[in-house]
Amino acid sequence: MEINQEQEPDYESVKIDYVGFVDPYAVEGMVILKSDNGKEFHMRAFSGEVARHISSFSEKESEPVPSIYKMIEEICEENELVLVKVKIYESGEVLRANLYFTGKKDLVLRNYRASDAMA
């Protein structure tokens, strides 16, 4: 799949609607994705750390936490790469994702955990 390829008809374009935790100790995270027509997709069974990182993007004064996600962000900045699309799909009983970057050259990272791709 090319980065500038049109949206496939059997996929939905979604936005993050809610980020939270499944348990009171914030050990397991969850995300609700919502399409423009109101269809919801629920993701869970990933770490609370990932959920906290995802929710930090909507906070006004969040401090960047040193993590693998911050490291990827810095690598992208140094190499002038921009994340333009994340494609989430089922692979067996788990959700996987492809990440599409563009910049000086196009880059596609395939078959990563969907929760990591969201973060």
- Residue ranges per structural domain of the chain: 14-118
- Under a CB-based contact definition with an 8 Å cutoff, are residues 21 and 51 in contact? yes
Mean pLDDT within 43-71: 77
> What are the pLDDT digits (tens) for 2-32?
667 777 777 778 888 999 999 999 899 898 8
Cβ(19)–Cβ(54) under 8 Å?
yes
- 84 touches 101 (CB < 8 A): yes
Q: Is it the case that residue 65 has pLDDT exceeding 70? A: no
Tokens representing 58? 């909507």
**pLDDT at residue 102 above 90?**
yes
Give residue 43's pLDDT: 86
Residue 61 has pLDDT above 70, yes or no: no
